[in-house]
Amino acid sequence: MAAKGYAETHARVRSLIGRVVAQADDPSSSLKRDFSQWYVTLFSPSVTAGILKASDLAGYRNNNVCIRNALHIPLAPEAVRDCMPALFDLLQAEEHPGVRAVLGHFIFVFIHPYMDGNGRLSRFLMNYLLTTGGYLWTIVTVQSRTAYLAALEQASTYRDIKPFADLIGGLIKSQSAEPIERITQRPEAGSWTALRSSLD
């Protein structure tokens, strides 16, 4: 379910990026109109499977949430309803696309508006803002994950966003110089047989 939701959300975000770039739309206005559907898309397969109810995907969280292995405690549910519109206003006011992307990611995770999926959505948000601002889609790699989580903690708990900005900037720079190879389609049926033979 998680992989299907991720793939469908990825497709939705890419489609929006294409429309924004092709029509020279304002990225922040388009984001504000479409963003709530990203969360719905991410978890719709779980609704179809009966794991979640459709009503679970309506609006922001109504309960407190904790982030595993983190000191940062996200905002109370009442504050989320005020802070999310403020985040979209902030993104609209910020002129530099790189700053928009880093701040958008960080503040979204700081608010933590949903019970689940905040990390995935924050990275989709970051990449939407990067690509509509002229940067390449940038992946937080498995190798950089420990540093990434530590930098987010530094920003959220100790109010020092520089390590996070440096990390994201470094990933953008390194992946622009040497893009990460992406597997875009499943192997054909015959190649599975060949793979099994090679492992026997």
Give burial (CB, 10 Å; 0-12/13-18/19+) of 65. middle
How many whole angstroms separate alpha carbon 26 and alpha carbon 103? 18
Catalytic, out of 10, 72, 105, 112: 112
Of 118, 113, 122, 109, residue with least CA distance to 152:
109
Where are any strands of DSSP class E within 49-181?
Answer: none
Residues 6+ apart with CB under 8 A from 77: 60, 61, 62, 63, 64
Residue 133 phi, psi (nearest 5): -100, 5
The amino acid at residue 9 is T
For this structure, is 96 an active site residue? no
The residues that are catalytic are 112
